Homo-oligomer: A and B are copies of this chain.
């Protein structure tokens, strides 16, 4: 199992209010890039729906983030990190829905 890593995987999907608004896309993307700099995050991925298409795939969201934390305490500390609040203040008006999955392994 050379590939398998441990940690808390925090995955968030964002649906923009105006999904085709390029300025809103760019603003959220820039916000996510800033957010990913928080040093509690061990590995960060920011994405948009890939070009895959099967009935079980949800590709309706605008952006996603996958942040891996060493442990639950780091994820908890991230939630209340000042830069996390800056992101929410700056960007939350852009989205109509977020969906979060926290998985621990």
Contact indicator A44/B4 (Cβ below 8 Å): yes
Contact indicator B5/A44 (Cβ below 8 Å): yes
Contact indicator B37/A3 (Cβ below 8 Å): yes
Partner of A66, one of B39, B57, B98, B103: B103
Given contacts A9-B45, A9-B64, A105-B48, contact A2 B100 (CB under 8 A): no
Contact indicator B51/A72 (Cβ below 8 Å): yes
Partner of A48, one of B42, B51, B103: B103
Interface size on A, residues (CB 8 A): 47
List chain A positions with a Cβ less than 8 A from chain B: 1-9, 11, 13, 33, 36-39, 41-52, 54, 56-59, 61, 64, 66, 68, 72, 75, 98-105
12 residue pairs A–B, Cβ–Cβ below 8 Å: A1-B36, A3-B43, A3-B44, A4-B33, A4-B44, A4-B46, A7-B45, A9-B64, A50-B104, A51-B104, A56-B99, A57-B101
